[in-house]
Every structure is written in structure tokens, then in C-alpha cells.
Structure 1
Amino acid sequence: MRDLVLRAANLALLVLYPVAWAAPLLRAGLLPLFALDEISVLTGLQSLWRTDIVLALVVTVFALFAPYLKTIGLALVQFGLLDRRALPVLAVLGKLAMADVFLIALYVTLAKGIGIGRIETAWGLYLFTACILASLVIGMIEDRKG
């Protein structure tokens, strides 16, 4: 029963990640009187690709590829299609994905500290963080099953 729940939770992440990528991470505005623009992982990446290709590539790996590849790899392990010896590599992918959440939190903290404009966190940041943390927990449980 526990294995079934873990498999279902991991497969749910394959749907929840794209939702989290499109969901608003934060709302930002230059002045308190004007409307706030919503920023998602995808809109942030679109902007980065136009201005800083190297940073865009790094963030794309952290935000999109690392968590999704880890989730797919973990599903393959859970269904016996990938050897359990791949779990340490999948754990590294999970840590890379967590680095992205850290970077977003750092940017929000810096922007608030500078005091120019306004930044509010939105529900997508919590969903994205929950997906990453759920993936890490599922991976740790899978690893302990050994």
C-alpha cells in the first residue's frame, strides 16, 4: 500500500511541476501605486533568454530539467525499469532543483531589502517548493527501501 502511495505521489509530480512552472511565483511592481506584474518560472525564463543566455541555461537546468528528470527517473526505479543504483544520481538532481528555490528566495529577499518597488510572493512559489520537497522526501523513502 505504501509503495502504491509513493508511486502515485511521484506520478502526480509529473502533472504538478508544469502547473508550478506556469503559476505566479511572485508579483513585482516598481511603484506601490501601479499594478503588480506576475512572474512565473516560465515568464522569468523567457525574460532571461532575451538578456542573459548563460544564466537562462543554468536556471532552465535547475528549474525544469533537474526536477522533472529526477521525477521520471524515480518513477522508472519505482516500476522496476531502472536499477536502484541510479538513486544517488537522482538525489543529486533533487538537490540541484532545490538550489533553484533557494535562488528565488534569495532574489526576493534582496529585492525587498533594497526597497525599490514592491515584491509579493504568490501561490506558485509555495507549489513549486512543495513539489521539490515532496520529490526529495519520496526519493529519501525510496533510497531507504534499499
Structure 2
Amino acid sequence: MAWLRYLNLSLIVLFPLAWVAPLLRAGLNLPLLGLKEVSVISGLAALVEEDLFLALIVFLFAIVAPAVKVVGMALIQFGRIGDRAKPVFGFLGRLAMADIFLMALYVVIIKGVAMTRVEVGWGLYLFTFCVLASLLVTLMERKRD
């Protein structure tokens, strides 16, 4: 099961990349206007200006929960903390999944408005992969016990 360690460690690099990668491109559906790319970080920066409470929630779900979960699972895998902490890190992984749901909901709502155009960016797929890989690590580690 050494591959689980490598998968989890790769997430330490892939999550920050997913945070700055374009999740989607949105804009008016007019020929000469370009689409604005939105990433987790740019979206978070825009939210801070509009709604600080919502920005804090997104920060916790999209950045803190996945980062703490990945580092915590690495500490468990390398024997730095006990296996009893696994349920805590599994719960943190589920919190990160909520962010993907919200992003998918946002895309569906925006596509329903006639004058807007939304295209999914590669960062949304990368972020989804990271969250699902993180959940897989947790599930496989649980089975190992």
C-alpha cells in the first residue's frame, strides 16, 4: 500500500495547483467580450470584498479542510500520529466535497441566465480529482485496519 502514501503526498502539490487553476470561465455571451477566469483564489479574493462570512466558509472548505486532511493523513501514514485520528481527517475530506457541489451548482445557475456564458476550466477537474483522491486515501487506509 505504499502507493497510497505517494498518492497522498502528491496531493500536497496538486491541491495548491488546483487552488490557482481556472475552475471556470464566465462572462457575457457577446462575441467581442472575453471570458473571465475564476479560480479558488480569485473567487475567494472577490468574496472577501463582497461577503466576508461566505469567504471564510469557502476558505475553510476549499483550502483549510483539504490541506489539514492531506497533511494529517501523511502524518498517520508515516507513523507520526496514531490511527485514532483517521475519522477526524475523513470528516475533513467530506467537507472539501461540499465545495465541489457548490461550484457545480454555480455553473448550472449561471448557465440558466440567457446573456451569460460559462465554460468549465481544467482546474475544476483537477480540484475534483484531488478531493476524490483524498477520500480514496482515507477509505483505503480505513480498510487497511
Classify the TM-score, shorter chain: over 0.9
Per the TM alignment, residue 114 of structure 1 is displaced from its structure 2 partner at its CA by: 2.4
Q: Give matches, 1:56-95, under 5 Å.
A: 56-95=55-94
Amino acid of the residue matched to residue 8 of structure 2? N
Question: Which residue in 2 is equivalent to 1:23?
Answer: 21
Q: Does 1:43 align with 2:6?
A: no
Per the TM alignment, residue 30 of structure 1 is displaced from its structure 2 partner at its CA by: 1.8
Distance in 2 (CA, whole Å) between partners of 1:21 and 1:47 is 14
Question: Which residue in 1 is equivalent to 2:10?
Answer: 12
Distance in 2 (CA, whole Å) between partners of 1:115 and 1:21 is 29
Distance in 2 (CA, whole Å) between partners of 1:19 and 1:112 is 26
Amino acid of the residue matched to residue 54 of structure 1? F
Show CA shifts across 1:64-110 (max 9, x none): 00001000000000001111111111111000000000000000011
Question: Which residue in 2 is equivalent to 1:128?
Answer: 127
Distance in 2 (CA, whole Å) between partners of 1:116 and 1:90 is 42
Distance in 1 (CA, whole Å) between partners of 2:134 and 2:46 is 27
Scaled by the length of structure 1, what TM-score is found? 0.96
Distance in 2 (CA, whole Å) between partners of 1:82 and 1:32 is 55
Per the TM alignment, residue 31 of structure 1 is displaced from its structure 2 partner at its CA by: 2.9
Q: After TM superposition, which residue ranges in structure 1, 4 or more long, deviate above 4 angstroms?
A: none
Distance in 2 (CA, whole Å) between partners of 1:137 and 1:113 is 33
Amino acid of the residue matched to residue 112 of structure 2? G
Amino acid of the residue matched to residue 81 of structure 1? R
Amino acid of the residue matched to residue 103 of structure 1? L
> How many residues align structurally?
144
Distance in 2 (CA, whole Å) between partners of 1:5 and 1:91 is 18
Superposed CA RMSD: 0.8
Among all aligned residue pairs of Structure 1 and Structure 2, give the percentage whose two residues are the same amino acid.
52
Distance in 1 (CA, whole Å) between partners of 2:86 and 2:114 is 43
Per the TM alignment, residue 32 of structure 1 is displaced from its structure 2 partner at its CA by: 2.7
Distance in 2 (CA, whole Å) between partners of 1:116 and 1:45 is 24
